[in-house]
Amino acid sequence: MVSKKHLHIESSGQLCIYCGACVGVCPLNCVYLDETRITFDEKVCTRCEICVKACPVGAIEIG
């Protein structure tokens, strides 16, 4: 099994503004916004990186 790249969503508020752009663009519906916390489903995520591009403030990193 090929291991997936590391994905990190900074949602402590340092960068994240909880705008939900990442949630809306995810083609697999695996990013969730819960008031002031953003999480994603590690198993479903394919690391397509669309959320990385959509995040207007650069709070999502893959690598």
Question: Toward another protein, which CB reaches closer, 4 or 57?
Answer: 57
25 exposed, middle or buried (CB, 10 Å; 0-12, 13-18, 19+)?
middle
User: By CB under 8 A, what part of segment 19-58 binds another protein?
Assistant: 19-21, 23-25, 27, 29, 33, 35, 50, 52-58
Question: Toward another protein, which CB reaches closer, 4 or 56?
Answer: 56
Of 5, 13, 17, 44, the residue at the interface with another protein (CB under 8 A) is 17
